[in-house]
Structure 1
Amino acid sequence: MEIVEVLHMNEGNGDTSYANNSLIQKNMILCIKPTREEAITDVYNSLCPETISIADLGCSSGPNTFLVVFDIIRAVEKLRKMTGTHSPEYVIHFSDLPSNDFNSIFRSLPRYVEDFKKEMGDGFGHCFFAGVGGSFYGRLFPSKTLHFVHSSSSLHWLSQIPKGLEENKGNIRIAASSPPSVIKAYYDQFERDFSTFFKCRSEELVMGGRMILSFTGRKSESHNPSHDVLNIWTLLANCLKDLVTKGLVEEEKLNSFHLPMYEPSLKEVKMVVEKEGSFSINVLEGYTHDFGESVKDGAIINTVRAVVEPLVVSHFGGGIIDQVFNKYEEMIGECRMTEFVKDNFIIIVSLTKI
């Protein structure tokens, strides 16, 4: 089955839904707020558009979806009130893969919009909303129609599982025991995808348009630490190995399961952007995002489940999913907190279309 058909967050508003288990992603969105506000302010000041077209790529569903776009609009409204100009019209594109829970977005949209209009007060311009289903590793919008593109917690996902991972047995992504051929396969897929992403966005953004991206990366240029650290993904792999030991999952089934995920370094990001050539880099930095409290209170378990359950179910079937995450909870409880890596390295990129 194609990744585009199964890569989506858990839908709805249940206990294991993404909407109710995305606090870590929310904190990431809030952390880059100053960079986001600087970028949209630059767009408004330099282009003075009467209609601002904004796209949120990898919007998912739930409160975070609205947090992003309304924060962007707030920044513009604050500036235009200071300068005494009239409010522009806003065109907001919620974009994600077709399997995303767009129904939840548009069911809750009227309530969010009504509250936001009251907050903005008199003189606030019209807002138009659209859902755009498709991969951001391809064209999504007409040429030269976007002013601002935002994407958070999405670009570490690849368009497909790389080819040539047969020697990565027992691992579900790049790990300390992964051979060089596996690392190269993942990197080559990342480079193709990332370059395609920038080429497509360069055609869709107006000259001088801005783009703010944040995604999981890695601090070091190396992929192979001296030992396999215990993080959220190695813990998931260990849970699946435990089910193999118990005879609930075939070993070959585990060996053929790979996450379509690559966490680049700052140097790799810079290299691809400069090689593609359509954007200038305004900000390229990384920071460590600590989710230690989420580990302590168990929230990390449902967060991981909300993100990867559709992939696990698609590959192994739905019959084992509760066992996987019951074991996940057990393993987190057993490991010493000093053994568990409680942070992610987040890369922030702010770019201008040239």
Structure 2
Amino acid sequence: MEVVQVLCMKGGNGDTSYAQNSLLQKKVISLTKPITDEAISNLFCNNFPARLCIADLGCSSGPNTLFAVLEFVTTVDKVHKKMGHELPEIQVFLNDLPGNDFNTIFKSLPTFQKDLQKTMGAGAESCFVTGVPGSFYGRLFLGKSLHFVHSSYSLQWLSQVPRGLESNKGNIYMASSSPPSVLKAYYEQFQTDFSMFLRCRSEELLEGGSMVLTFLGRISEDPSSKECCYIWELLAVALNDMVAEGLVEEEKMDSFNIPQYTPSPAEVKCEVEKEGSFTINRLEASEVNWNAYHEEVFSRYQKIVADRMSREKTEFVNVTVSMTKRG
């Protein structure tokens, strides 16, 4: 089954939902806010559009989705008040794969509108929110229709599991024990996907439009380094224990691989420059501590992660790039 048909965060608002277990992702959105604010502010250096179109790609569901939108819209409001201009009408597009829990987002819109009114007053009436299901590894919007594109902790997910991973036995992702061919397959899939993403957004963004993208990434040039792969290596330990106990079939374990690639800043820069449509304004790496979360595998996983966290430093690396479409 294709990734686009099955990949989604767990919907609803239950204890195990993404909405209740995404504090780290919210921290990352807050961490990169100065870069987002700068990019949005720069949109108004030369002109003041009457209508502003913003897209959040890989929006998922839960409080983070509309938290990010609130950040975008209030930034626009502050910039326009500072410059003495009227607030433009703002169209916000929320994109994720078709399996995403858009219903939970829409049910939260009345509360979002109230929060917006507290911050912006009557200006809140100028903000319109629309859901756009589909893969961002293809076209989603009309040509030259967007002013600003944001994506946080989504672009590390690949469009498909790379081909040629038969030799990755005992692992579910790139690992220190993975052969070079596996690392190569993952990197090539990232190159294919990210270049496609850039081409599509180039067609959809207006000249001078901006993007701020944050990946789960790495600083090391080694794609199998602990800073990006360790959390999956630990999950593989739990799954291999279950194989040994006869709880999971070895064939299923060997055929399972995570469709994700955590790029370095240099790899992101390389693909942006190769595609050629964007000028990089800022490219930064940052770190955020990670803490883990009722299924048998996650019970085991929790114990393994807790043990490792008590003995060594555990952090996620974020790679954030801010870029502007060339003229």
Instruction: Report TM bin, short chain.
Output: over 0.9
On the 8 A contact 1:144/1:207 being kept in 2, the answer is: yes
Q: Given residue 199 of structure 1, which amino acid in structure 2 is its aligned partner?
A: R
1:346 aligned residue = 318
Q: Given residue 325 of structure 2, which amino acid in structure 1 is its aligned partner?
A: K
Structure 2 vs 1, CA of residues 337 and 91 (structure 1 numbering), >3 Å: closer, same or farther? same
What is the Cα deviation at residue 229 of structure 1? 9.2
2:240 aligned residue = 241
1:90 aligned residue = 90
- SS, match of residue 274 in structure 1: helix
Residues 263-302 of structure 1: pairs in structure 2 closer than 5 A: 263-291=262-290, 295=291, 300-301=292-293
Q: Given residue 23 of structure 1, which amino acid in structure 2 is its aligned partner?
A: L
Describe the superposition over 1:248-290 as per-residue Cα deviations: whole angstroms up to 9, x where unpaired: 1111110100000001111111111000000000001111212
What is the Cα deviation at residue 143 of structure 1? 0.1
Work out the CA distance in 2 between the residues paired with 1:229 and 1:206. 34
In the alignment, structure 2 segments of 5+ residues that lack a partner are: none
1:110 aligned residue = 110
What is the Cα deviation at residue 208 of structure 1? 0.1
2:303 aligned residue = 330
Work out the CA distance in 2 between the residues paired with 1:267 and 1:256. 31
Higher normalized contact order (CA 8 Å, seq sep 6+, divided by chain length): 1
Work out the CA distance in 1 between the residues paired with 2:227 and 2:47. 49
Residues 161-240 of structure 1: pairs in structure 2 closer than 5 A: 161-225=161-225, 231-240=230-239
2:2 aligned residue = 2
On the 8 A contact 1:86/1:123 being kept in 2, the answer is: no
Whether 2:230 is the aligned partner of 1:257: answer no
Work out the CA distance in 2 between the residues paired with 1:282 and 1:249. 48
TM-score by length of 1: 0.89
On the 8 A contact 1:4/1:97 being kept in 2, the answer is: yes
What is the Cα deviation at residue 217 of structure 1? 1.1
What is the Cα deviation at residue 45 of structure 1? 2.8
Work out the CA distance in 2 between the residues paired with 1:103 and 1:70. 19
On the 8 A contact 2:132/2:140 being kept in 1, the answer is: yes
User: What's the Cα RMSD here?
Assistant: 1.6
On the 8 A contact 1:168/1:178 being kept in 2, the answer is: yes
Structure 2 vs 1, CA of residues 187 and 336 (structure 1 numbering), >3 Å: closer, same or farther? closer
Work out the CA distance in 2 between the residues paired with 1:140 and 1:337. 44
Structure 2 vs 1, CA of residues 228 and 92 (structure 1 numbering), >3 Å: closer, same or farther? closer
Describe the superposition over 1:291-333 as per-residue Cα deviations: whole angstroms up to 9, x where unpaired: 3xxx3xxxx22xxxxxxxxxxxxxxxxxxx6111111122234
- SS, match of residue 47 in structure 1: coil
Question: Identity of counterpart residues, as a percentage?
Answer: 53
What is the Cα deviation at residue 230 of structure 1? 8.2
Work out the CA distance in 2 between the residues paired with 1:260 and 1:151. 18
Structure 2 vs 1, CA of residues 29 and 327 (structure 1 numbering), >3 Å: closer, same or farther? same
**191-200 vs 123-132, greater mean Cα deviation:** 123-132
Structure 2 vs 1, CA of residues 123 and 151 (structure 1 numbering), >3 Å: closer, same or farther? closer
